[in-house]
Amino acid sequence: MTVYCISDTTLVICRFFKIKTVWRGTTTHHFLHTPKMTAHTAAKDQRFLVFFDFDETIINENSDDAVVRALPGQQLPDWLKNSYREGHYNEHMQKVLAYMADEGVTEDSIHSVVEKIPPAPGLLNLFQYLQSHQQDFEIVVVSDANMYFIETWLERAGVRHLIQKIFTNPASFDATGRLVLLPFHSHSCSRCPNNMCKQMILREYLASRQKKCGGSPFQRVFYIGDGANDICPSLALGPRDTAFPRRDFPMHRLLLRMQQSQAAKFKANIVPWVSGDDVVDCLKTIMAER
């Protein structure tokens, strides 16, 4: 039997870089836009890799739930809700999007709803901090949402240029106006939904970056998430790395349960977050150690 050992980290909360603007009726924060660094520059200079989940991590709700607001009645019929099978969420969302198309929901309506999803607390402050240290941080999004939702939102927020790579389920509108969703890949991991294992993605990305750089490309890896499917990739982190579970969300609760049961070994540091500013505090401490 393996044992989980999770280290405690004291959080000192403060607030940074607050420049108010309008986010479709919501107070948020705006960035200065700078050109995205080239892959050559990133490979040469960046020392830290940050993985972000999307739903309820970058944004403050589940995009698949939010998009239902584009329906005339803003909710799904019971027969469709009840058709979900555990571990087959991607298939379920394919049915949801097909139903929405049948109900006359247009691309413009979906685009508008996705753009209006609010960011998670402090996450735009965190992106602004990462932007101000682009020479140190490479940013990757890994999500079981879909490419259309993620790119739409990131573009609207003005942060798409900060993201080196997005790993998510393919999605695009076909000639009939339907948003067609596909699975990301197949895998044999028993912990993950059938369409995506985030640990497999994380390991393959690190291996490809290491091969490209001719050695270990990053001093530390950070994983920021909220859900149960963010546990699996966090298991691949090492003792110098940090997992950031959103406090009181499934990822955090599962890690606490693992800590209490000591059922397996968890190598990374654990820093729960309520606001993206909590993550900024931790990163600033790590940056100061250099």
CA gap 249, 65 in Å, rounded: 17
The response to whether 64 counts as a known ligand-binding position is: yes
d(CA 46, CA 280): 17
CA distances to 26, 59, 80, 218 from 21, rounded to whole Å, are 9, 17, 39, 35
- Establish whether 55 is a catalytic residue: yes
8 is in an annotated binding site: no
Q: Do the strands 269-270 and 242-245 form a parallel or antiparallel pair, or are they unpaired?
A: parallel
Selected catalytic residue, list 8, 45, 53, 102: 53
| Active-site hit among 55, 241, 278, 281 | 55
Work out the number of other CB atoms within 10 angstroms of the CB of residue 239: 10
What are phi and psi for residue 4, nearest 5 degrees?
Answer: -85, 130
Annotated binding residue 281: no
- Torsion-angle region of residue 287: left (phi > 0), alpha (psi -120 to 50) or beta? alpha
248 is in an annotated binding site: no
Q: State yes or no: 144 annotated in a binding site.
A: yes
**Strand ranges, E, within 159-259:** 163-169, 171-173, 179-181, 220-225, 242-245
| 136 assigned to active site | no
Catalytic residues: 53, 55
Known binding-site residues for Mg(2+) equal 53, 55, 226
Q: Residues annotated as binding site for substrate?
A: 64, 144
Q: Which residues are annotated as a binding site?
A: 53, 55, 64, 144, 226
